[in-house]
């Protein structure tokens, strides 16, 4: 009766992946409680996390462990091309060298203005910091930029132009209805009472992109496997290494989504510049 089966959003999947990378597999309750991920996973139980992780592992493996003896699928796998791709993973809080991405062609046609913007990984890292900050300093009216900056600066090493960077992120999140802005303060916005689903965007929109990206990469397994192995080192799970490598592919699709939004921001800045306004871009 009251079970319309709530599908997992990509934000939730991302949070789960990050959580596993941070805490390790099996620490489902820890991940769920972690303030860094709770904002995404508050509506999921630790059991849900476990089940979801199992499902993701299965689909990443091609076939699998979770199948007794059904129709054997001699599916001709779609792995052939090889495109160089660098994958760098940094857990929030530790400063590790982030490998610069080779100007991922996200198919968006625009003359220039591809530089000076964040890549997907960095962006979601900052997003996580923002959520952590806002959920920790629980201010009913929200927190202003300065408060957020100082909170994050206390816990993480941040670049010198971080304040400006943060402003961009905040504006982005507000535009996505993830945050609420009242006067100069920002505060979390959790979507309550989701009848069938209250998505800010339909997953159908980005699905095609995923296949697009999937074909874009392919022979990145060497690089990906290395970083993936590092990522789940504490999880010491042998079969998951390959699975994680594939997971990185889906992560790239997030980048496409982010890039799209950044374009919007860039446009805005360009707009203001052409209007004679002086905009500093660090």
Partner DNA sequence: TATCGGGTTATAG
Partner DNA sequence: CTATAACCCGATA
Q: Is 34 helix (H, G, I), strand (E, B) or coil?
A: coil
253 binds DNA (CB under 7 A): no
CB of 8 to DNA, least distance (A): 4
Which is nearer to DNA, 46 or 90 (by Cβ)?
A: 46
- The alpha-carbon radius of gyration of the chain (Å, integer) is 20
209 binds DNA (CB under 7 A): no
Region 19-38 residues binding DNA, contact defined as CB under 7 A: 25-30
Which is nearer to DNA, 98 or 206 (by Cβ)?
A: 206
CA quadruple 243, 249, 251, 254: dihedral positive or negative? negative
Q: Give the count of residues interacting with DNA (CB under 7 A).
A: 29
265 binds DNA (CB under 7 A): no
CB of 17 to DNA, least distance (A): 13
145 binds DNA (CB under 7 A): no
Residue 39 Cα to chain centre, angstroms: 13
Q: Residues with Cβ < 8 Å from 235, sequence gap 6 or more? A: 20, 24, 25, 26
How far is Cα 241 from Cα 247, in angstroms, rounded to an integer? 10
The answer to whether residues 85 and 29 touch, using CB atoms and an 8 Å cutoff, is: no
47 binds DNA (CB under 7 A): yes
Sheet holding 143-144, edge to edge: 143-144, 185-188, 179-182
CB of 37 to DNA, least distance (A): 13
Burial label for 246, CB within 10 Å (0-12, 13-18, 19+), is buried
CB of 213 to DNA, least distance (A): 17
Closest to 15 (Cα-Cα) out of 28, 1, 2: 28
51 binds DNA (CB under 7 A): yes
189 binds DNA (CB under 7 A): no
183 binds DNA (CB under 7 A): no
Q: Is 209 helix (H, G, I), strand (E, B) or coil?
A: helix
Out of 55, 146, 150, 264, which residue is the one contacting DNA (CB under 7 A)?
Answer: 55
71 binds DNA (CB under 7 A): yes
202 binds DNA (CB under 7 A): no
Which is nearer to DNA, 17 or 44 (by Cβ)?
A: 44
Residue ranges in contact with DNA by CB under 7 A? 3-8, 25-30, 44, 46-48, 50-52, 55, 58-59, 63, 66-68, 70-71, 73
């Amino acid at each position: 009766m009251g079970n319309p089966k709530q599908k997992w959003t990509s934000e939730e999947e991302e949070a789960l992946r990050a959580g596993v990378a941070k805490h390790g597999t099996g620490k489902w309750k820890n991940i769920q409680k972690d303030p860094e991920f709770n904002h995404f996973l508050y509506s999921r139980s630790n059991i849900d996390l476990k089940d979801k992780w199992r499902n993701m592992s299965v689909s990443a493996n091609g076939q699998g462990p979770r199948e007794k003896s059904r129709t054997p699928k001699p599916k001709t796998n779609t792995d052939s091309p090889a495109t160089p791709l660098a994958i760098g993973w940094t857990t929030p809080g530790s400063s590790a060298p982030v490998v610069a991405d080779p100007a991922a062609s996200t198919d968006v046609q625009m003359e220039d203005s591809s530089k000076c913007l964040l890549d997907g990984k960095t962006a979601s890292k900052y997003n996580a910091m923002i959520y952590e900050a806002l959920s920790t300093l629980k201010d009913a009216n929200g927190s202003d930029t300065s408060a957020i900056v100082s909170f994050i600066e206390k816990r993480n090493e941040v670049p010198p132009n971080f304040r400006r960077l943060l402003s961009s992120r905040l504006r982005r999140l507000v535009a996505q209805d993830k945050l609420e802005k009242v006067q100069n303060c920002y505060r979390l916005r959790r979507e309550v009472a989701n009848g069938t689903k209250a998505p800010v965007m339909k997953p159908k929109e980005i699905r095609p992109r995923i296949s697009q990206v999937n074909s874009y990469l392919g022979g990145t397994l060497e690089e990906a496997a290395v970083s993936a192995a590092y990522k789940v080192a504490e999880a010491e799970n042998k079969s998951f290494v390959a699975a994680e490598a594939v997971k990185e592919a889906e992560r790239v699709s997030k980048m496409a989504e982010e890039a799209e939004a950044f374009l919007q921001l860039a446009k805005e800045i360009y707009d203001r510049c052409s209007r004679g306004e002086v905009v500093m871009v660090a």
